[in-house]
Chains A and B, each alone.
Chain A
């Protein structure tokens, strides 16, 4: 069964600092990987996705993520965070032939001035 681990429940960073959110997955074949962001009381917005090809994927709002098969990781990065990035971030995994997504428990990001 596929699973996703987001080891950091809560991260606090200063505005303008760099950010890395960790995501590890468990799945036998090549997974489809996603990062979604959820603002309080809102739905999920897709930041970026990896299906195949280049392992470094660019997303919206200046985010990027790198797929590392050897480490079973798909960490999300941003070089300089903005106060508007404060939200909950979810990593998810899917795979061909199994349409349901499996989500991690999320990482809450707080931005301080």
Chain B
């Protein structure tokens, strides 16, 4: 019974490159959430997706960040033209359905921008 899977676990990019972070939700879960954790801070909500739909992207930066959750395959968080301030841990969580269900978190992707 695999949990939420994220890859890569660690990602190093140079300024200006693109970063792609992948998240496979738990089996049977159709809701995916992305959070960002900056050093020494708590997690901040970024985006909430269901299959083929973005439900709430109120926490996403206006530029360079995008997310998708296609019908088939993992959810992708894409960061274009990365900057040093994007260095953080990015966590994905999934749940069975709506807000009354617990969100289960993956191990995170640690992004380092040089």
**By the criterion CB–CB under 8 Å, are B91 and A99 in contact?**
no
Q: Which of B61-69, B71-79, B97-105 contacts A (4 or more CB under 8 A)?
A: B97-105
Give the interface size class of chain B. 20 to 34
Main SS at interface, chain A: strand
B31 on interface, CB distance cutoff 8 Å:
yes
Interface size on A, residues (CB 8 A): 27
A43 interface neighbour in B42, B91, B99, B100, Cβ under 8 Å: B91
**By the criterion CB–CB under 8 Å, are A43 and B107 in contact?**
yes
CA distance A63 to B44 in the complex (A): 25
Chain A positions 15 through 47: 1 when the CB is less than 8 Å from some CB of chain B, otherwise 0: 000000000000000001010100001111110
**By the criterion CB–CB under 8 Å, are B43 and A97 in contact?**
no
Select from chain A the residue with minimum beta-carbon distance to B107. A43
CA distance A105 to B42 in the complex (A): 4
**By the criterion CB–CB under 8 Å, are A43 and B106 in contact?**
yes
Q: Which of A96, A97, A100 has the most CB of B within 10 A?
A: A100
B18 on interface, CB distance cutoff 8 Å:
no
Least distance between A95 CB and chain B CB atoms (Å): 7
A90 interface neighbour in B31, B43, B45, B102, Cβ under 8 Å: B43
Chain B positions 46 through 71: 1 when the CB is less than 8 Å from some CB of chain A, otherwise 0: 00100000011011000000000000
Q: Hey, which bits of chain A sit against chain B, CB under 8 A?
A: 4, 32, 34, 36, 41-46, 49, 51, 90, 92, 94-106
Q: Hey, which bits of chain B sit against chain A, CB under 8 A?
A: 4, 31, 33, 35, 41-45, 48, 55-56, 58-59, 91, 95, 98-100, 102-108, 110
11 contacts between A and B (CB under 8 A): A4-B42, A44-B43, A46-B102, A49-B102, A51-B100, A94-B99, A96-B99, A99-B99, A101-B33, A103-B35, A104-B42
